Amino acid sequence: MFWLYVILALFWMVVLVDYWLGYRKIPSLTSMSSLPSDEKLSVIIAAKDEEKDIEATIRSLAGQENVNVEIIAVNDRSDDRTGERMERLAGEFPQVQSFTIKALPDGWLGKNHALHFGVKQATGDYFVFTDADIIFQKNALSKAFTFLKKEKADHVTAAPDLNGESFWLRGLISFFLLGFGYLKRPWQANQDNKKGGMGIGAFNLISRTCYEQIGGHEAIRLRPDDDLELGQRVKRFGFRQRLVSALDDMTVEWYPSLKAALIGFEKNAFAGLNYSVLLALTAVVGVFISQVLPYLLLIISPLEIQIISAVNIVLLCCLYALTIHSLTTYSMWYILALPIFALLFVYMLSRALLLTWIRGGIEWRGSRYSLKELKQHFKHSEED
């Protein structure tokens, strides 16, 4: 046990250095210039049952400054008044167009199909894919587009401020970002090579040329992690990508409640682990051993185990603090509850994987997708 945690401590030291160097490579949208441009950006929103948020999102987009924008809002089979609100806003703002999809074709996830449909209506040379619950500050699009031009990039994705109404939600968000950091190393997006790649659903700005050459949403039509896979394809195909922090320029409510987060996690958990049972079990056991057990060993173990456990805890807390500082607006006091959030994450991941396995697939927004179909499409999209 002692040597296991010695090795783990060395691992956390390497990760901490990697984090510290990596997050310094992610620029902030806040300090960037906003230069006027006549080039048209087509903002495409896929919305299903989003009557609560869609109006605020569209209004924040319609109020963007220094940018030529058309807003294509696609109502994806909503059962509430999402479509009605879109139609009303289309009548109020000339740059807004509203469309409704009544049926989902076979072989598509709803959101991916809605975005694909929206692209067909777009007339701009640049697309912005965003969600139906994002609030944009008035120069957010202009600053992102100015940055894309300055960097001669083909794709810019942005990390927004993730709001959570409760202590548990904010803790889960920050812990998820901690794990996402050492699994995906998002700062690789800003390196000009084919490694890694990043895409965040809140904001993907991409040139039409790049989008078409990587296969668009048709190439990822059954990927629940469509935003991430879009960004990874950008890199694999040799295009230039940039990731920015947009904590002051874009805001989204991650989930309205812990229950909603549990349900949402069902969609992405297995996809994020490449549909591998072995990788999934490794993740569950690994998080428990590395991020929960050290706290228990600190109390019930011999002195040498207590010391090495304490070293691991200090390194973990440093990593967590760096994540909170770089990717959220939360208080550093959340560090004290790290093992609780780790346990919650283990529960959520185990639950999502078990439900996916029992159901033989995922159920999302009224549609069911078989695990066999998802795995086949995952394999094909990775081989492109």
DSSP per position, 172-201? HHHHHHHHHHHHH-GGGGGSSSSS----BT
Cβ pair 17, 319 in contact under 8 A: no
pLDDT confidence of 364, banded at 50, 70, 90? low
pLDDT confidence of 350, banded at 50, 70, 90? confident
* Residue 92, C-beta contacts closer than 8 angstroms, at least 6 positions apart: none
What are the distances in angstroms from CA 93 to CA 48, 63, 72? 21, 10, 12
**What element of type H or E holds 372?**
helix 371-383
Rounded percentage of the chain residues whose pLDDT exceeds 70: 94
**What element of type H or E holds 129?**
strand 126-130
Residue 43 dihedral angles phi and psi, to the nearest 5°: -90, 125
Q: For 67, which DSSP code?
A: S
Distance CA 341, CA 203 (A): 27
Better-scored residue on pLDDT, 34 or 368: 34
Nearest to 173 by CA among 144, 206, 132, 202: 202
How large is the greatest C-alpha to C-alpha distance in the chain, in angstroms?
A: 71
Better-scored residue on pLDDT, 198 or 280: 198
What are the helix (H) ranges across 93-130? 110-121
Residue 267 has pLDDT above 80, yes or no: no
In the chain the domains, ranked by start, together with CATH numbers, are 2-21+259-383 (no CATH), 27-256 (3.90.550.10)
Distance CA 352, CA 360 (A): 12
Structure tokens at 207: 């040139």
Give the β-pairing of 96-101 and 68-76: parallel
Distance CA 335, CA 348 (A): 20
The per-residue pLDDT for 207 is 98
The per-residue pLDDT for 354 is 83
| Residue whose tokens read 């990731």 | 243
Cβ pair 121, 75 in contact under 8 A: no
pTM confidence score: 0.91
Cα-Cα-Cα-Cα torsion 147, 151, 154, 156, nearest 10 degrees, comes to -40
Distance CA 113, CA 364 (A): 14
Q: For 247, which DSSP code?
A: E
The per-residue pLDDT for 383 is 57
Q: Radius of gyration of the chain from Cα atoms?
A: 21
Distance CA 132, CA 335 (A): 31
